[in-house]
Amino acid sequence: MSSQVLADYLQRREKLIAEDRALRVDRIRANHTAAELKADEVVRNIRTREAVSVWGVEGGDVPHPYPGMEFLNAKDIILKTDLYSKVVSKMPKGSLLHVHHNASVEARTVLNLALGHPAIHIRVPGPLDASSLKYVLPDIQPIPAEQYPATVNPASITDVTYTGGWVPIQKARELFDPALGGPDGFDKWVLGTFVINPSDAFRTYNTPMKIWLKFGSTFAVTDPIIRFVPIQKEYLRLFIRSSIEDGISYIEVRMSFFIKYILAEDAKTRLDLRELLLIYEEVTNEIKAEMKAKGFDLVGHEDGIMSKPLLYYAEPLLRFAKKHPNIPFLFHAGETLGDGTAADMNLYDAILLGTKRIGHGFSLAKHPKLMELCREKNIAIEVCPISNEVLRLTSSIPMHPLPVIMNQGIPVVLSSDDPAMFNSMGLSFDFFQVLAASEVTGLLTLGQMARDSITYSMLDEMSKQTAMIAWERRWANFVEHVAAMSS
Amino acid sequence: MSSQVLADYLQRREKLIAEDRALRVDRIRANHTAAELKADEVVRNIRTREAVSVWGVEGGDVPHPYPGMEFLNAKDIILKTDLYSKVVSKMPKGSLLHVHHNASVEARTVLNLALGHPAIHIRVPGPLDASSLKYVLPDIQPIPAEQYPATVNPASITDVTYTGGWVPIQKARELFDPALGGPDGFDKWVLGTFVINPSDAFRTYNTPMKIWLKFGSTFAVTDPIIRFVPIQKEYLRLFIRSSIEDGISYIEVRMSFFIKYILAEDAKTRLDLRELLLIYEEVTNEIKAEMKAKGFDLVGHEDGIMSKPLLYYAEPLLRFAKKHPNIPFLFHAGETLGDGTAADMNLYDAILLGTKRIGHGFSLAKHPKLMELCREKNIAIEVCPISNEVLRLTSSIPMHPLPVIMNQGIPVVLSSDDPAMFNSMGLSFDFFQVLAASEVTGLLTLGQMARDSITYSMLDEMSKQTAMIAWERRWANFVEHVAAMSS
């Protein structure tokens, strides 16, 4: 057999691989600059090196680490990598298109905001001890000045004399029983109710159905704090500032309207949700960011027992669409492991009802015709890798169906969903996990996803052009910088 | 808005769903009998009922059960369901096309075979105690009569006087320290080294890379027992008989040729592997089953550090194909979580080298062009759900990419791979897991997969026709029976 036969084979192999990957966003764009190609190579080398030097090391605090492993266990390792600190965290991300407004600021920061405001009080059903600490959720709220407790030195919520009334949160922290850790023990307990912890995700609540119970409780605990106007304003400022720091230029926020008011500074007056939009306007004007919350969506646990499928709302939604043809639908759909379940079937309705993007679309990979429609109609999928992993749709990023969807030529925008509850922030961790868990995806892929996050945003055409020009400038600087790094 | 608008919507919805599922094997076949349709409905009703009455019950031995959960934890629950005992276990399965010859009989049965033969002896490095019991692997082998230990009453392998020599396995069991459980403790320890246990898969070896260490050790321990001619014959008989009981009509066995001999009845003479094929012939003739081992494959841990990709062997394989055009290739490929890794890339080579089927093809879902080729060239995928789950490619069956592959119109044959190591047997458990974890897949889907297991077997055309006629007759009886069950 001549070596020509092998050479022919290798040529046919190259061609087949190219055909197989032809639909990917990083292949469609052909005119990469020399700096982009060099930066991509540098990043691949760092990834390869750290797969051994960081992820291949046994015996550390985290047992059996690997690239793309569970985020809640991996976070401290990720922060130590060059791939994160020198590359991904510095990358201009484009837009953040799937994030919930009440889950966007880190737990520690939210607790600091609460500790910093005199109206914020705390109560629990009765005195806390080592055992009740494991399951009692605190009630933390602003209360009107006239309801402040009369005593200057209230009982500690860990004291046997405590009978369940409101205590100023600062006092409750100060007086927290030293046997339970004192102020640090207080912080640990409260923060544990603000976020999903590894023991929640991997033991107590090990299925999507179960983890949504814990997930819901984190919102219940933090919502009354955030819903308070003075804190809401600061919360929003911190969210926008940290997003800017993370290289995000534009955000479309998902708002929920379950509770139809926000609470004024007096902690008594219930303000219309219009006030919330005015706060958004005020704060965004203030930070001179261009951010608009527009687009109509339905949010919740699609698989939940109480959940109604999109089909249930088909008639009012069809009516709404006819009446308001300029308000785009941006539905959550397919955030499920189900195969033919109601949540999986929501994908048909989201597309038939004319959604412009799909929130999650986790189960889309199972639907050849729907993938074809998304490709043809340019319906981008808001993929939220860390959210999907923490909420138990996938056990790690290598198991995530993202490559299936990307390789079908469907535009993908990476999003963070509810980063506060996942002990995450910005978009860097989601970008990192996707980059670390593949040999095909590289920096150019992430760059194209960032471009798509502008293309598939709800900005008007003029604003899109402006945003794209600004992003391309930052990107060019970034890739020059990465290309110059020694890999 | 008229109700006509909603009616139109519902019609468009039906059409879209039909288009999306048009490529599935259960849709291509249009002429289902009334009994088949009724049986399918009965099975769907049982599944729906047991999702609540069996899988929805908390507080049993298995925490947080759900349909399609980890097999090693689920098995005892599965056995109690009507879906398993009354339906799936009775179904005629067609062919078993992906099973390894030395991993096909239950651990307990293998131990009984060993206990039943006087040549089989055991040794360990030194006396076993409660702590060494956790990690010491037994050396279990036939030894020639002249090497049998001289003493009639040897020291127990748990006795401090034991110095590491061979002990008849029956004696070792009898004399096992009562403090370590006596004979039952012996069985528990030995069986634990024959199979993968939940603590192995979900704690100690929680990634595909790690679990292959344990997986490999189960073969190392059992292989010398099975490789002994008198046991090999009985092993094969038991495998074929249990397969027949499970409704399997035809088997293509994957053989490995790592060790180039089997051991004759004298426990000394090394026989050529040709003898192994003669045993197959003798036993199959004896049971009058039609079974042939043909087809060339390469087997091993694709992701392993020592593994060579198919590409490495491209030249000799191309040469082999030219020389032996009638010997089909049936490659393992894509048994990996990797995206663009060498094991993932094996899929390109398997297809280019002309494989007739693909063993596992777990990562095929990521490859649009390769899925198109499999569909066009009728390359069936040997999907091994429980193997993939135990070996940590997927955490549960709802996360398995099987629906992605099926919905692309690619033929799938469900297979068991190494059931002995997974505490499984036959095909019923694999069929069960697939049925339980979907709302789309039903009895008709499983029926079509069984048909495809004959169609895509390596039987010659005449034998296929005979096998198919026999299967259709059993299937018709089976669906009549199921259709008559009260659902």
Contact B421, B70 (CB under 8 A): no
- CA of A220 to nearest chain B CA: how many angstroms apart? 24
Q: Can you read off the two tokens belonging to residue A341?
A: 């379940």
The partner residue sitting opposite A352, judged by closest CB among B16, B311, B409, is: B16
Q: What is the pLDDT of residues B6-17, one digit of tens each?
A: 888 888 888 888
Report whether pLDDT(B297) > 60. no
Residue that wins the pLDDT comparison between A20 and B114: B114
Which chain B residues in 309-348 lie under 8 Å from chain A, judged by CB atoms? 311, 314-315, 318-319, 322, 337-341, 344-345, 348
- CA of A210 to nearest chain B CA: how many angstroms apart? 9
Q: Report the pLDDT value the prediction gives residue B290, as an integer from 0 to 100.
A: 44
The partner residue sitting opposite B13, judged by closest CB among A339, A348, A365, is: A348
DSSP code, position B154: P
Query: What does the alpha-carbon distance between residue A124 and residue A166 come to, in Å, rounded to a whole number?
Result: 8
* Weakest mean pLDDT among A65-69, B228-232, B357-361: A65-69
- CA of A427 to nearest chain B CA: how many angstroms apart? 22
Q: What is the pLDDT of residues B10-44, one digit of tens each?
A: 888 888 888 888 888 777 777 888 889 999 999 99
How far is C-alpha A13 from the geometric centre of its chain's CA atoms? 38
Query: What does the alpha-carbon distance between residue B142 and residue B70 come to, in Å, rounded to a whole number?
Result: 36
How far is C-alpha A383 from the geometric centre of its chain's CA atoms? 9
Which chain B residues in 276-315 lie under 8 Å from chain A, judged by CB atoms? 311, 314-315
- Name the H helices within B54-122: 71-80, 82, 107-115
Q: What is the pLDDT of residues B197-225, one digit of tens each?
A: 888 877 777 777 778 888 888 999 999 99
Task: Return the residue of B nearest to A314 by Cα.
Answer: B6
- CA B475 to each of CA B42, B96, B248, B483: distance values in angstroms, whole numbers, following the listed order: 15, 16, 12, 12
Residue that wins the pLDDT comparison between B362 and B301: B362
Contact B427, B383 (CB under 8 A): no
Interacting residues of B140 by C-beta distance below 8 A, sequence separation 6+: B114, B120, B121, B122, B169, B190, B221, B224, B225
Compute the count of residue pairs across chains A and B with CB atoms less than 8 Å apart: 143
Q: Can you read off the two tokens belonging to residue B190?
A: 């030995």
pLDDT band per the 50, 70, 90 thresholds, residue B151: confident
Q: Report the pLDDT value the prediction gives residue A66, as an integer from 0 to 100.
A: 84
How far is C-alpha B428 from the geometric centre of its chain's CA atoms? 10
φ, ψ for residue B308 (rounded to 5)? -105, 135
Interacting residues of B398 by C-beta distance below 8 A, sequence separation 6+: A337, A338, A339, B67, B68, B437
Q: Report the pLDDT value the prediction gives residue B68, as an integer from 0 to 100.
A: 86
Residue of A116, A175, A119 whose CA lies nearest to A143: A119
Query: What does the alpha-carbon distance between residue A315 and residue A388 come to, in Å, rounded to a whole number?
Result: 30
B369 and A440 in contact by Cβ < 8 A? no
Residue of B19, B45, B33, B29 whose CA lies nearest to B487: B45
CB-CB neighbors (< 8 A) of B437 in chain A: 339
CB-CB neighbors (< 8 A) of A345 in chain B: 17
CB-CB neighbors (< 8 A) of B340 in chain A: 438-440
- B439/A contact by beta carbon, under 8 A: yes
Q: Of A36-50, B89-103, B168-182, B266-280, where does the model show the most confidence? A: B168-182
Task: Return the residue of A nearest to B211 by Cα.
Answer: A64
Query: What does the alpha-carbon distance between residue A26 and residue A438 come to, in Å, rounded to a whole number?
Result: 14
Q: For chain A, list the domains and their CATH numbers.
A: 80-103+246-254+291-484 (3.20.20.140)
The partner residue sitting opposite A16, judged by closest CB among B66, B314, B369, is: B369
- A206/B contact by beta carbon, under 8 A: yes
Contact A338, A344 (CB under 8 A): yes
Q: Can you read off the two tokens belonging to residue A201?
A: 């995700």
- A12/B contact by beta carbon, under 8 A: yes
Query: What does the alpha-carbon distance between residue A258 and residue A278 come to, in Å, rounded to a whole number?
Result: 18
- CA of B37 to nearest chain A CA: how many angstroms apart? 18
Mean pLDDT, rounded, of chain B: 89
3-state secondary structure of A78: helix
CB-CB neighbors (< 8 A) of A441 in chain B: 339
Residue of A401, A395, A396, A391 whose CA lies nearest to B401: A401
- CA of A445 to nearest chain B CA: how many angstroms apart? 14
3-state secondary structure of B7: helix
Cα torsion at B132, B136, B142, B144 (round to 10°)?
-60
φ, ψ for residue A167 (rounded to 5)? -130, 135
- B146/A contact by beta carbon, under 8 A: no
Interacting residues of B246 by C-beta distance below 8 A, sequence separation 6+: B89, B93, B425, B426, B427, B428
Q: Can you read off the two tokens belonging to residue A336?
A: 């499920």
Q: Report the pLDDT value the prediction gives residue B292, as an integer from 0 to 100.
A: 43
B64 and A210 in contact by Cβ < 8 A? yes
- CA of A19 to nearest chain B CA: how many angstroms apart? 6
The partner residue sitting opposite B439, judged by closest CB among A16, A341, A395, is: A341
Task: Return the residue of B nearest to A364 by Cα.
Answer: B404
Contact A434, A414 (CB under 8 A): yes
CB-CB neighbors (< 8 A) of A341 in chain B: 439
Query: What does the alpha-carbon distance between residue B123 and residue B437 come to, in Å, rounded to a whole number?
Result: 44
φ, ψ for residue B329 (rounded to 5)? -85, 135
- A210/B contact by beta carbon, under 8 A: yes
- B262/A contact by beta carbon, under 8 A: no
- Kind of pairing between the strands at A139-142 and A120-123: antiparallel
Which chain A residues in 351-380 lie under 8 Å from chain B, judged by CB atoms? 351-352, 365-370
Query: What does the alpha-carbon distance between residue A73 and residue A424 come to, in Å, rounded to a whole number?
Result: 12
Query: What does the alpha-carbon distance between residue B404 and residue B140 come to, in Å, rounded to a whole number?
Result: 43
A16 and B348 in contact by Cβ < 8 A? yes
CB-CB neighbors (< 8 A) of A319 in chain B: 1
φ, ψ for residue A318 (rounded to 5)? -65, -40
B368 and A407 in contact by Cβ < 8 A? yes
B370 and A20 in contact by Cβ < 8 A? yes
- A58/B contact by beta carbon, under 8 A: no
3-state secondary structure of B21: coil
A368 and B1 in contact by Cβ < 8 A? no
What is the ipTM for the molecules in this complex? Answer: 0.83
- A407/B contact by beta carbon, under 8 A: yes
3-state secondary structure of A117: coil
The partner residue sitting opposite A16, judged by closest CB among B311, B352, B409, is: B352
Contact B318, A9 (CB under 8 A): yes
Task: Return the residue of A nearest to B367 by Cα.
Answer: A20
Query: What does the alpha-carbon distance between residue A94 and residue B307 come to, in Å, rounded to a whole number?
Result: 40
Interacting residues of B167 by C-beta distance below 8 A, sequence separation 6+: B121, B122, B123, B149, B154, B155, B156, B157
Residue that wins the pLDDT comparison between A481 and B293: A481
The partner residue sitting opposite A368, judged by closest CB among B20, B439, B440, is: B20
- A74/B contact by beta carbon, under 8 A: no
Task: Extract the residue ranges of chain A whose pLDDT is less than 70.
Answer: 1-2, 288-306, 487
Residue of B362, B255, B353 whose CA lies nearest to B311: B353
Task: Return the residue of A nearest to B434 by Cα.
Answer: A339
Q: What is the pLDDT of residues B430-479, one digit of tens each?
A: 999 999 899 899 899 999 999 999 999 988 999 899 989 999 999 999 99
- CA A11 to each of CA A4, A5, A17, B20, B319: distance values in angstroms, whole numbers, following the listed order: 10, 10, 10, 35, 17
Contact B100, B85 (CB under 8 A): no
Contact B27, A358 (CB under 8 A): no
The partner residue sitting opposite B394, judged by closest CB among A19, A399, A439, is: A399
Q: What is the pLDDT of residues B303-341, one digit of tens each?
A: 666 678 888 888 888 888 888 888 889 999 999 999 999
A407 and B210 in contact by Cβ < 8 A? no
DSSP code, position B132: G
Report whether pLDDT(B293) > 70. no
Question: How deeply is B192 buried, as exposed, middle or buried, from its count of CB atoms within 10 A (0-12, 13-18, 19+)?
Answer: middle
- CA of B357 to nearest chain A CA: how many angstroms apart? 18
B315 and A6 in contact by Cβ < 8 A? yes
Query: Per-residue pLDDT averaged across B90-116, rounded?
Result: 92
Q: Report the pLDDT value the prediction gives residue A298, as an integer from 0 to 100.
A: 55
Task: Return the residue of A nearest to B343 by Cα.
Answer: A439
- A463/B contact by beta carbon, under 8 A: no
Query: What does the alpha-carbon distance between residue A477 and residue A133 come to, in Å, rounded to a whole number?
Result: 50
Query: What does the alpha-carbon distance between residue B403 and residue B383 come to, in Å, rounded to a whole number?
Result: 11
